[in-house]
Chain A
Amino acid sequence: MEAITSPVGRQGEAQVGRLDTVRRLLGWASIPLLVIALYMALVYAPPEATMGNVYRIFFFHMPSALASFAGFFVTFVASIGYLRTRRQGWDIWAVAGAEVGILFATVAIVTGSFWARPVWNTWWTWDPRLTTVTIMWLTYIAYLMLREAVDDPERRARLAAVMGIIAFANVPLVWLSARWFRTIHPVLFGGTNPQAKGDFSLAPSMVVALMAGMVAVLVLWGYFLVRRVRLEQERARLVQHYLEGGERGHLG
């Protein structure tokens, strides 16, 4: 992608250049990291005692869920930033975080469903963890729909920021749902769940494979996030051109 020389709002050219560098670095780094993570997940990690090999979905399922939380956290922080400063840059990070968060939440839901079918004997069940994840997913879809529904950029950013803060309330609940409620979803870190189906203990080599998956998916998440931010900056630049052109009589 071409570098933007005319930055949005108060962002300096140096900052935009740095973002492009970070985007390129993350993009290139994600390729070998994903290859290593795939090798660790499919070859290095041993089969699980009761689930066999299907549990290997876990090595990308859990990192994707964490990446979605990270995306929504970016939206939360950027929304607060926007309401405090009214700077468009925050709004750009907020929308990018939400979209990338939705992508990884979708990945976590779909891969989880493929894992659930042989282990739980169903593709889907209204378990507390799955229900709270669905509410989270739908809330952020609504966040993007709200943005599409409002034409005035300042009003859109303000309303979206309020929603971005409120929507985040559900994210910790997703994490805690498998610890607080009766659920069949396994809890591997920071708790136990006697009702869990498909629960397992992580052998050291599984932990290594999980870490490889975490690093690869989070680097990919960072790449998508920065690339989405740059797209939104270019869009803002385009809108700015149209508005300036309109003022000079180019439009209408």
Chain B
Amino acid sequence: MDILADDNLPYLVGGYVAFWALIVGYLWSLRRREQVVRRELAMWLDEEEA
């Protein structure tokens, strides 16, 4: 592939890695916050039942 022979390959790779790192990082952050809220809701409901 001619892309691999390009002198600017590190910048191209860097740009794409940065894109995916930010997207996956945000997904991870969303997931963590969802888990915290869900856990607190579950705790609250358990307390209510008790």
- A: residues with CB less than 8 A from B are 1-2, 42-43, 47, 51-54, 56-57, 60-61, 64, 103, 106-107, 110-111, 114-115, 117-118, 220, 224, 227-228, 231, 234-235, 237-238, 241-242, 245, 250
**Are A111 and B18 also in contact (CB < 8 A) when A1-B34, A238-B41 are?**
yes
Q: Which residues of A contact B11 (CB under 8 A)?
A: 54, 57, 114-115, 117-118
Contact A238 B40 (CB under 8 A): yes
Q: CA A107 – CA B18 in complex, angstroms?
A: 7
Q: Which residue on A lies nearest to B25, using beta carbons?
A: A103
- B: residues with CB less than 8 A from A are 1-3, 6-9, 11-12, 14-16, 18-19, 22-23, 26-27, 30, 33-34, 37-38, 40-41, 44, 47-48
Contact A56 B26 (CB under 8 A): no
Contact A110 B18 (CB under 8 A): yes
Q: Which residues of B contact A61 (CB under 8 A)?
A: 15
Q: CA A229 – CA B5 in complex, angstroms?
A: 44
Q: CA A228 – CA B33 in complex, angstroms?
A: 10
**Are A245 and B44 also in contact (CB < 8 A) when A52-B7, A54-B12, A57-B15 are?**
yes
